[in-house]
């Protein structure tokens, strides 16, 4: 019998550290025992660092398995599901103290922090997947939704990791994102981290190589499928996150290095925003993203800032270039170049 091909879809693109992203598949594969059986589908996640950002490609069968187990758990014992969510909130308190500090002072503190983040990641995973799941008991969904609405588990943890790595290892400068957990006792050269920054494949703690996603797919036989954009004349369709109409110049933002490009009145175009992008988001006239849903960071922040926001365009960062003059009509669901 032929082996079923392992298919991955890109779930996120983040300006985040390899170190933090390594924890995600560890949790998906072995960290769910608190509420669901061991995930048999592996690898659950392939991380591809490309020009400084990390594309998170998730195994469809692994994600489907986790969601089904979470749904089963919530339906079977909704009270226990609610208690689980309250424990997740309570366990975040020591993390919140560290998030407020913003930086750690030693390698031991950094490793302890990573262990703490991993220990509570199953709760963050539950909140992510169940906040909009209509088939679970309403009380559980509402609680997951409320926790997701204010969630900054990844962005705050990542900020601590980046600040601490730069403090402990100042010689690597702007390549903190390319550091893996296994590197902490023997930091790679800046030249090696620079190579990773361009193209690097990381599969939890099992595989890591300077390599393109195309080469990795050819080697493994895995299939990586990217959703196609819906094109219109001179532009793209997307999903409305916050209404409004505006014109402005495009500024592409992939990492925090790009934030200074954004001036007041510009249209910020990014794969997906994070809390680290706030200085630029406050100046932008509108926000456009490749990815996301109604509870993604860009959607939530746009509503807080009362700025037009179009999400899930699939390809805005590829279609538009810096300084393109564009018009955005969120109600109509599109962004397009002005001739």
- Where among 175, 190, 220 does a domain terminate? 220
Q: Are residues 313 and 183 in the same domain?
A: no
Q: Are residues 13 and 133 in the same domain?
A: yes
% pLDDT > 70, the chain: 98
pLDDT at 125 over 60: yes
Give the pLDDT score at 278. 94
| Residue 277: CATH number of its domain | 3.50.30.10
Q: Are residues 100 and 206 in the same domain?
A: yes
pLDDT at 165 over 90: yes
Helix (H) and strand (E) counts in the chain: 12, 15
> At 120, is the pLDDT very low, low, confident or very high (cuts 50, 70, 90)?
very high
Q: Are residues 195 and 311 in the same domain?
A: no
Highest mean pLDDT: which of 30-34, 216-220, 294-298? Answer: 216-220
pLDDT at 296 over 60: yes
- Where among 193, 220, 247 does a domain terminate? 220
Domain presence at residue 163: yes
Q: Are residues 75 and 143 in the same domain?
A: yes
> At 197, is the pLDDT very low, low, confident or very high (cuts 50, 70, 90)?
very high
> At 149, is the pLDDT very low, low, confident or very high (cuts 50, 70, 90)?
confident
Which of the residue ranges 32-46, 95-109, 325-339 would you say has the lowest mean pLDDT?
32-46
Distance between CA 61 and CA 39 in Å, rounded? 10
> At 1, is the pLDDT very low, low, confident or very high (cuts 50, 70, 90)?
very low
Domain presence at residue 25: yes
Give the pLDDT score at 335. 98
Structural contact between residues 335 and 314, judged by C-beta atoms closer than 8 angstroms:
no
Distance between CA 50 and CA 211 in Å, rounded? 10
pLDDT digits 0-9 by tens, 54-63: 999 999 999 9
Q: Are residues 158 and 178 in the same domain?
A: yes
Three-state DSSP class for 105? coil
pLDDT at 32 over 90: no
Q: Are residues 64 and 85 in the same domain?
A: yes
Domain residues for 307?
231-337
Q: How many domains does the chain have?
A: 2
Q: Are residues 101 and 132 in the same domain?
A: yes
pLDDT at 274 over 90: no
| CA count, 13 A, side-chain hemisphere, 16 | 27
pTM: 0.87
Q: Are residues 47 and 156 in the same domain?
A: yes
């Amino acid at each position: 019998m032929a082996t079923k091909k392992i298919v991955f879809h890109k779930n996120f693109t983040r300006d985040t550290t390899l170190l933090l992203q390594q924890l995600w598949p560890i949790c998906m594969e072995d960290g769910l025992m608190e509420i669901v059986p061991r995930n048999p589908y592996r690898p659950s996640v392939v991380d591809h660092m490309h020009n400084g950002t990390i594309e998170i490609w998730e195994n469809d069968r692994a994600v489907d398995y986790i969601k089904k187990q979470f749904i089963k758990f919530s339906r079977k014992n909704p009270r226990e599901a609610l208690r689980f969510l309250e424990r997740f909130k309570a366990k975040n308190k020591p993390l919140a103290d560290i998030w407020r500090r913003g930086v750690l002072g030693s390698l031991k503190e950094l490793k302890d922090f990573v262990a703490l983040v991993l220990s509570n990641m199953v709760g963050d995973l539950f909140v992510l997947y169940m906040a909009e799941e209509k088939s679970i008991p309403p009380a559980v969904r509402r609680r997951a939704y409320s926790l997701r609405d204010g969630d900054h588990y990844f962005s705050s943890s990542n900020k601590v990791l980046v600040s601490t790595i730069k403090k402990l290892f100042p010689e690597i400068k702007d390549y903190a994102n390319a550091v893996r957990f296994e590197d902490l006792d023997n930091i790679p050269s800046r030249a090696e981290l620079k190579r990773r920054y361009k193209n690097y494949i990381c599969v939890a703690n099992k595989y890591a190589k300077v390599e393109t996603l195309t080469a990795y797919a050819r080697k493994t036989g895995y299939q990586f499928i990217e959703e196609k954009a819906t094109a219109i004349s001179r532009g793209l369709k997307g999903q409305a996150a916050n209404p409004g109409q505006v014109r402005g110049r495009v500024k592409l933002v992939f990492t925090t290095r790009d934030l200074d490009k954004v001036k007041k009145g510009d249209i910020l175009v990014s794969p997906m925003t994070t809390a680290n992008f706030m200085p630029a988001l406050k100046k932008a006239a509108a926000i456009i993203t490749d990815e996301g849903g109604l509870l993604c960071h860009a959607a939530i922040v746009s509503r807080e800032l009362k700025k037009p926001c179009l999400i899930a365009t699939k390809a805005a960062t590829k279609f538009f270039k810096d300084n393109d003059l564009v018009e955005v009509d969120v109600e109509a669901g599109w962004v397009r170049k002005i001739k």
